[in-house]
A and B are shown apart, each in its own frame.
Chain A
Amino acid sequence: MDLFLQTLLNGLLIGGVIATFSIAFQLTFGVLHVIDFAVGAWVVLGGYLAYYMAAFLGIDGFLVMPMAFVLFGAIGYLMGPMIYNVRNSRTARPELMALALTFGIFTLLRGGMLTVWGFNTHSVPTALSGHSIMIGPVTVPLIRVAAASFAVLIAGGLFFFLFRTRYGLAIRATAENRQNAALMGVNIRRLSANVYGLYAGITAMSGVLMGGIYSVNPEIGLRYTLFAFFVAVLAGLGSLGGALVAALLLGVIEAFVATYGGASYSHLAIFATLFLVLLVSPRGILRRGL
């Protein structure tokens, strides 16, 4: 029973961790209609920022998070128009062009990091790293709790922003029908840049947490890209609430299969779940995707 409770908690926390970089990914798809392969690279860049801040200036990972948001938010804002232009170009199949573009950005960033920072693996120290508390028989790792709380906070914040503010209304209108939104006076180009900036900033912040929980090296970005994509498929592309539910579900499946079945089957179980969901409910588990 103790192991069961621990496994359940492990699963929920893994889900929370995955959700941190999957939610904003969904937002980008919903608004820009781009599957951003570069998501993993933004995560890793955030991790590197935190690593260098800690190594040279001794700044704690949690304090780097606002910095990561501002820095990578600005970079994302500047890159937004480029992605928007490719996605809305008059060439044939602009959606595939955009996919290739983000894949190119991912490869470029990964190669750039490998060249500049080398291949060694680093770890981001935070105030909560390695600390845990006992609740009954269950060990609760605090940094993972922080990551899961961050995911819930981001999801809540985005919901509030999208459904309770005027700008959020404009974003939702753009996601629904770009032409009509433009006719209503929404500056689609600037809105897209803002959304991409918001996404890059949030994702880099989650990268700081990933560096604290796991480790940072240029090659691990692909892993985050894949998981963000798994979550997106399970949630239904573009569905924010679905992303949180899907990430938690994936985490719980991974934990239970690894503990009671064997860790080598955990990804098999994840793929089987994805396959079934695509077969039964192609618009995701909450049926709210595109």
Chain B
Amino acid sequence: MPKKDVSFSRRTFLGGSALALASGTISMPFVRTARAQAATFKAGVITSLSGENISGGNLTKNGYDLWAEAANEKGGVEVGGERFMVEMFYGDDQSNPATGADAAERLIVQNEVDFLLGPYTSGSTIAVQPICQKYQVPMISGSAESPNVWLAKPEFNFGIIPSVDTTSGQSLGVLAALSNPKAKTIAVIGVNEPFSKETGEGFQRGAKEAGLEVVAYELVPASGDLTPVMSKIAALNPDIVAVGGHEEPLINVIKTSKSLNYRPKALIMHYGVTNPAFAEALGADANGTSGVAVWLPTVPYKDDLFGTAQDYVARAQAKFGHEPDYTEAACSASGLVFADAAKRLGKKPSLTPEDRVALKDAIADTDITTFYGPIKFEKEGDHYHDNIQPVPVVIQIQDGKTVAVGPKEAAAAEFIYPLPSWK
């Protein structure tokens, strides 16, 4: 069979190249004009899209994207009767705060974003704050939970999730009120690393406010064995044991307490309990464990864009294939805060530097209710610019499922107290 000649002649090649080049140069101005005509609000998302926090980073991205998608379905964000589409730009902090600061600078300088949507970790958030201050660009954080984020009174940063020292403390008041016979004593364990230690301190303060006597406060190294601490606590026999830590130490707390055949009347943990992997790893042993969440799919709130919390859950479920957790919800709510502030401000995109400062002031005056709950930022004190409105919901794992047990108006099931012994 004769071989087919597929080679180009020199003439075809040159002609083709010239045509390609010409079409490229000619079409470019049209593209530019098209973009210039349809002004958009540019949102810059900085979060962990690689590295050890990749999963949490993607939760935040999911939440922010869901808002942009919902807003654009309606034609965009409304300003002065007109609607403007939202355009998303992403910066990866690679799970490293310093890289997060670089990414923020790039989003502001190169992509000329109008506002930022904040990182997954509190560490990155703190690193990005000075960049926001330097370029006077507001940032709405849908994930950061450490109280240290707000202690420095960041002028341009706003947080949707109440800082962990308020939620962990308040949850003990709820727990104490639910307990019958009423709990009197508590032991607090905190893993010795920033977030968990702050949670532990929050529990300690909350215990005093709830009238509980703190019989032990133990900071354990992340890589330490928990048997000595659990034996010590078992000897003191408090009614409640509260633990601040991430998923893995929480799992170890339960395994250790079971291996020592010690079970307090109530066991409460912050963070990780709502993650399905927690109940999966422990099986039936996870049942009875309590936790804290600032938002649950069952809350009774609604807004114009997402509808009810249940509508939001259905939308997220359809897009991501899982029930959204409170971080995803808070990130979506961050977009609602921007849309509300932009509408009140009445400035069309793209925003000038003066507009962005005015936008920051408009965000500070936010007072809205969304599917996530009420949002209003503190204007002074240790939680400056944090939204501490949401009341933490105490949840308990019952039959492998996370259910709200308190406060009473949010409860979907009876609180199991005291917990039965392991045997």
Contacts and interface: CB of A to CB of B under 8 A. Distances in A.
Nearest first, the 5 A-B pairs at minimum CB distance are A258-B228, A141-B259, A120-B277, A264-B219, A130-B258
Interface string A129-150: 1111010000101111000000
A254 B231 CA distance: 13
- Tell me which of A120, A131, A144 has the highest count of chain B C-beta atoms within 10 A of its own C-beta: A120
B218 A263 contact: yes
A259 interface: yes
Contact of B252 (A14, A130, A142, A215): A215
B260 A226 contact: no
Contacts of B298: none
Contact of B285 (A3, A130, A259, A266): A130
Interface residues of A, number: 47
Given A144-B259, A223-B223, A264-B220, A259 B232 contact: yes
A55 to B, nearest CB: 9
Contacts of A217: 248
A132 B261 contact: yes
A263 B219 contact: yes
Interface of B: 52, 54-55, 192, 218-221, 223-225, 227-229, 231-232, 235, 247-248, 251-252, 255, 258-262, 275, 277, 280-283, 285, 422
Given A129-B255, A215-B248, A264-B219, A119 B55 contact: yes
A195 interface: no
Given A220-B248, A258-B224, A267-B224, A3 B232 contact: yes
Interface stretch (A5-13, A25-33, A165-173): A5-13
- Tell me which of B227, B235, B247, B281 has the highest count of chain A C-beta atoms within 10 A of its own C-beta: B227
A264 B221 contact: yes
A130 B192 contact: no
B281 A132 contact: no
Contacts of A134: 261
B350 to A, nearest CB: 38
A139 B228 contact: no
A160 interface: no
B228 A215 contact: no
B235 A214 contact: no
A121 B225 contact: no
B224 A262 contact: no
B228 A10 contact: yes
Contacts of B258: 129-130
Contacts of B231: 3, 6-7, 10, 139, 259
Nearest to A264: B219
B232 A219 contact: no
A262 B218 contact: yes
Contacts of A262: 218-219
B223 A255 contact: no
Contacts of A122: 277, 280-281
19 contacts: A3-B235, A10-B228, A11-B228, A13-B227, A14-B225, A120-B280, A121-B281, A122-B281, A132-B260, A141-B227, A215-B251, A215-B255, A258-B224, A258-B225, A258-B228, A259-B228, A263-B224, A264-B220, A266-B224
A2 B259 contact: no
Interface of A: 2-3, 6-7, 10-11, 13-14, 17, 114, 118-123, 125, 129-132, 134, 139, 141-144, 213-215, 217, 219-220, 223, 226-227, 251, 254-256, 258-259, 262-264, 266-267
A254 B181 CA distance: 36
Nearest to A122: B281
B277 A121 contact: yes
Contacts of A256: 228
Given A132-B259, A213-B255, A263 B282 contact: no
A64 B262 CA distance: 29
Contacts of A266: 221, 224, 228
A3 B195 CA distance: 31
A226 B223 CA distance: 10
Contacts of B280: 120, 122
A218 B118 CA distance: 27
Contact of A130 (B218, B248, B275, B422): B422
Contacts of A131: 259
Given A141-B227, A255-B225, 11 more contacts: A6-B231, A17-B225, A119-B52, A122-B277, A123-B255, A134-B261, A223-B223, A259-B232, A263-B221, A263-B224, A264-B221
A255 B228 contact: yes
Contacts of B259: 129-132, 141-144, 213
Nearest to A266: B224
A10 B257 CA distance: 13
Nearest to A268: B221
Nearest to B260: A139
Nearest to B231: A6
B218 to A, nearest CB: 5
Contact of B247 (A121, A130, A143, A223): A121
A254 B281 contact: no
A10 B227 contact: yes
